[in-house]
Amino acid sequence: MFRETGLEACMGPELLRKKRTGAARSASFLAWASLLVFAFAGGLYSTDVQAQLEVSGSLIGQRPLLTAEHGWLVQGRNGLEYAPHGIGYSLMLLPAALCGAALG
């Protein structure tokens, strides 16, 4: 079992749980980043991936929801263009979209 030492013994169960949760979040972020580096190796290899990245950007407010501007697109009833792919890949690209938005 986990043995508490030093300040951790004084933190109490609530603060200790929050500390462990922060470590789990960091590990989760690093796992996603590793997966993206492994899958893409720093480049977008098709217009489909570019459209899916743009859909990821729409999920964080960069454009109207689920729309894209480049790649193979389908025109919707409202005149906006949508990527004809499932949302799963765009969700996987969400950390990349967040990094891109942060870098400008």
Q: Are 83 and 72 in contact (CB under 8 A)?
A: yes
Q: What is the pLDDT along the chain (104 residues), one digit of tens a residue?
A: 445 555 555 555 665 566 667 777 788 888 887 887 777 666 667 788 888 989 999 999 999 998 888 888 899 888 889 888 889 889 988 988 998 888 87
Distance set, CA 83 to CA 21, 34, 102 (Å): 35, 25, 23
